Amino acid sequence: MHVRVRLDGSNPQGWHVALLRRIGEIPGLAAVSVDDAPASGAWPHTADLLFRLEALVHGLPRFGTEPVPGAAFEPWRQPAARPDLVLDLCGDVPSGPAIWHIAYDDRVGTDALLARLLADAVPRLTLVENGAIRAAGRLGADRPGIVLASFEDALARTITLIAASLRDRIAGRAGAGGAGDALVGHRVVLTVPRLGVRAGRMLAGALIHRLYRLCYYAPHWRCGWRRLAGPDLIDLGRHPEAGWSVLPDDGRRFYADPFPISVRGSTHLFVEDFPHATGKAIISAVRFGPDGPEGAPVPVLEEAHHLSYPFVFERDGGVWMVPESSAAGTVDLYRATRFPGGWVKEATLLSGVVASDATLVEHAGRWWIFATVRDAGLGAPSGAGSFHDALHLWSAPDFRGPYTPHPANPVLVDPSLARPAGRIVPRGGRLIRPIQDCAAGYGRALVLARIDRLDPAGFAQTVIGRVEPGPAWPGNRLHTLNAGGGIECIDGAARAPRFTIRGRTRRQG
CA distance 213 to 355: 28
User: Do both 191 and 224 map to the same domain?
Assistant: no
User: Do both 49 and 81 map to the same domain?
Assistant: yes
- Within-domain flag for 509: no
pLDDT at 188: 61
Q: Write the CATH number for 173.
A: 3.40.50
User: Do both 183 and 287 map to the same domain?
Assistant: no
Q: What percent of the chain has pLDDT over 70?
A: 84
User: Do both 202 and 290 map to the same domain?
Assistant: no
Q: Find the mean pLDDT for residues 146-159.
A: 92
Q: Is the dihedral of CA 343, 345, 350, 354 positive or negative?
A: positive
Three-state secondary structure string covering 416-460: CCCCECCCCEEECCEEEEEEEECCCCCCCEEEEEEEEEEECCEEE
Q: Is the dihedral of CA 497, 498, 502, 506 positive or negative?
A: positive
End-to-end Cα spacing for the chain? 40
Per-residue pLDDT for 65 more than 70? yes
Express each pLDDT in 91-125 by its tens digit.
778 888 889 999 999 888 888 888 888 878 899 99
Q: Which residue has the higher pLDDT, 202 or 83?
A: 83
User: Do both 208 and 257 map to the same domain?
Assistant: no
- Within-domain flag for 306: yes
User: Do both 82 and 172 map to the same domain?
Assistant: yes
CA 81 to chain centre: 39
- Domain boundary (178, 213, 248) is at 213
- Within-domain flag for 47: yes
Q: Find the mean pLDDT for residues 248-273.
A: 94
CA distances from 319 to 113, 263, 307, 322, 460 (A): 46, 8, 18, 11, 30
Confidence of residue 275 (pLDDT cuts 50, 70, 90): confident
Average pLDDT, the chain: 85
User: Do both 322 and 401 map to the same domain?
Assistant: yes
Neighbouring C-beta atoms of residue 233, cutoff 10 Å: 22
Strands 85-88 and 99-104: parallel
Q: Which residue has the higher pLDDT, 456 or 186?
A: 456
- Within-domain flag for 502: no
- Within-domain flag for 508: no
- Which residues constitute the domain of residue 19? 2-213
Q: Write the CATH number for 287.
A: 2.115.10.20
- Within-domain flag for 346: yes
User: Do both 170 and 246 map to the same domain?
Assistant: no
Express each pLDDT in 17-57 by its tens digit.
999 999 999 998 878 888 877 665 567 767 787 788 778 77
pLDDT at 55: 85
User: Do both 353 and 253 map to the same domain?
Assistant: yes
- Within-domain flag for 150: yes
**Residue 154 identity (one-letter amino acid):** A
User: Do both 141 and 250 map to the same domain?
Assistant: no
User: Do both 327 and 224 map to the same domain?
Assistant: yes
Per-residue pLDDT for 472 more than 90? no
- Within-domain flag for 231: yes
CB 274 within 8 A of CB 497: no
State the angle between helix axes of 147-171 and 110-118 in degrees (0 to 180), rounded to the nearest 10: 130
How many domains is the chain partitioned into structurally? Answer: 2
pTM equals 0.78
